[in-house]
Structures are given as C-alpha cells and as structure tokens.
C-alpha cells in the first residue's frame, strides 16, 4: 500500500489564485512529521512547510499553509496568490521511524506538477 | 553557509565501473542520508547515518556502500555500476528527530550505459 498518496499528477492554476495540492498518508505510528517540498525544473529540492503529528494548529509559512486533518490522514498544501515562479513539482513526504535500525526516513509521494498560467 | 554540497553534478559511467559520489554539509547535522529519484517514483532512501561511524541500510541499498568517518562527509560508492542505477542522487542532512526537515543537496545526475 502507498504510504503517501498524491492523486493529482498535474494541476493548472491562474496567477494570483489559490490552489490546493492533495496528500493523504498511511501510518500506524503516533509520531511522525509531514513535509512539503518543491522541485523546480532546475532539480533542487526546496523545503516549504512542516506539520508534526501532535501539532493542533495548521502550519503556515508565508503563502503556504498546510491543511492537516489527522483523522482523515490528509495533509494538503494550500498555496495562496499563485505566482509564475510557483510552477514546479511538489512532493508530500512523511518522516517516520524505520522498521529496523534506529533511524528514520522520509517517504515521498509521486508528486504533483503545478503549472501557473497568466 | 554552503549547506549541503554534492559532487559531481553529472556523471556518465559504463556498466561495471565504480565511482564515489561526494556529499558534505557544514551545518553540524548528525543525520545524513542518500536518496535516489527515478521518474514517477518520488525519492527512495538508499543508506543513512545517525552520526560519524554509524551507517545503516535504507529501502534500496543493493549495489551501494557508504561510510561516515566525519560529521561533515557522507560519500556514496557504487561498486559495479549497472544501467538500473541510472538516476538522480540526492544527499540530505538534518537533525535526527522526526520533526526536523531534511536539507537536500543539488543532486547528481548519473547515467550508466
């Protein structure tokens, strides 16, 4: 089963409008972190926003907010006032303990390609 | 602060060749990891380290070795390159807990022919 599901392979949004990128996750752990990363065409991975599993308030970071619904296991990214520079691939990820060893890992979804249009 | 640096940016190998991808960070992070990114599959964990001298396997470790002799450096070695290892490789560093973001290097695009 997919641990992180991003059901929108591609999205279009008009400049200055808001857009929501969907992410659902699957875990039986009580402690985990949820992250969103942006990957522009240049290829680097840019951290956008984070939500801890015990955080009661939705995270916000500038034009980015994370709509966290723990019971539904969803962590949607909302980008307000879209800009042309927001065109990129967006990845949802969960940081969770590894089954063996003492470490943890980021599990990524397959991404959503966002295109902002004039 | 350079953050996380990786070299080289691009590399072409022939099947059976070996090489080392370099990764360094200047943030004094204990936790470092290597991921590979293949089309349509997101990023997958290859190996990770929780501190100097301590490494462990991730999800897709076969064909790769790592070592961590210092806090700053975490090289990834391809022992005998195969076409299936054609991918983009990212090194990341962070604090060790579940609630810390990982900082990624710029990536190395590797092609194995």
B85-112 pLDDT tens trace: 999 999 999 987 888 889 999 999 999 9
Per-block mean pLDDT, blocks of 10 residues, chain A (118 long): 88 97 93 94 94 94 97 97 97 85 83 96
**Range B6-17 average pLDDT:** 97
d(CA A116, CA B12): 34
Pairing of strands A33-39, A88-97: antiparallel
- Contact criterion met (CB < 8 Å) for B98 and A97: yes
First-to-final CA distance of chain A: 38
> Given CB atoms, is B59 within the 8 Å cutoff of chain A?
yes
With a cut of 90, say whether residue B7 has pLDDT above it.
Answer: yes
Task: For residue B39, count other CB atoms closer than 10 A to its CB.
Answer: 8
- Contact criterion met (CB < 8 Å) for A95 and B102: yes
pLDDT of residue A1: 57
Phi, psi (deg, nearest 5) at residue B86: -65, 120
d(CA A110, CA B63): 24
Residue B16, CA distances (Å) to A60, B8, B21, B77, B93 in order = 48, 19, 16, 13, 29
pLDDT of residue A101: 67
> Given CB atoms, is B20 within the 8 Å cutoff of chain A?
no
**Range B73-80 average pLDDT:** 97
d(CA B94, CA B67): 17
pLDDT of residue B28: 94
- Contact criterion met (CB < 8 Å) for A43 and B106: yes
Gyration radius of chain A over CA positions: 14
In B, minimum Cα distance to A4 occurs at: B42
């Amino acid at each position: 089963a997919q641990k992180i599901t991003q059901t929108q392979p591609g999205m279009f949004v008009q400049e200055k409008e808001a857009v929501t990128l969907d992410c659902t996750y699957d875990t039986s752990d009580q402690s985990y972190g949820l992250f969103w990363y942006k990957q522009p065409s240049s290829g680097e991975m840019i951290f956008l926003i984070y939500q801890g599993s015990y955080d009661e308030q939705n995270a916000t970071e500038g034009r980015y907010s994370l709509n966290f619904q723990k019971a539904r296991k969803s962590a949607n990214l909302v980008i307000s006032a879209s800009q042309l520079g927001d065109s990129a691939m967006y990845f949802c990820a969960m940081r969770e303990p590894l089954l063996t060893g003492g470490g943890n890992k980021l599990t990524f979804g397959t991404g959503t390609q966002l295109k902002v249009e004039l | 602060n350079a953050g996380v640096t990786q070299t080289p940016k691009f590399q072409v190998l022939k099947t059976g060749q070996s090489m080392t991808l370099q990764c360094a960070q200047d943030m004094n992070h204990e936790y470092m990891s290597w991921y590979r990114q293949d089309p349509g599959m997101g990023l997958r964990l290859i190996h990770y380290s929780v501190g100097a001298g301590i490494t462990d396997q991730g999800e897709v470790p076969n064909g790769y070795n790592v070592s961590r002799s210092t806090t700053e450096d975490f090289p990834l070695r391809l022992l005998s390159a195969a076409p299936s290892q054609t991918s983009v490789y990212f090194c990341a560093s962070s604090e060790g807990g579940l609630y810390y973001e990982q900082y990624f290097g710029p990536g190395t695009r590797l092609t194995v022919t």
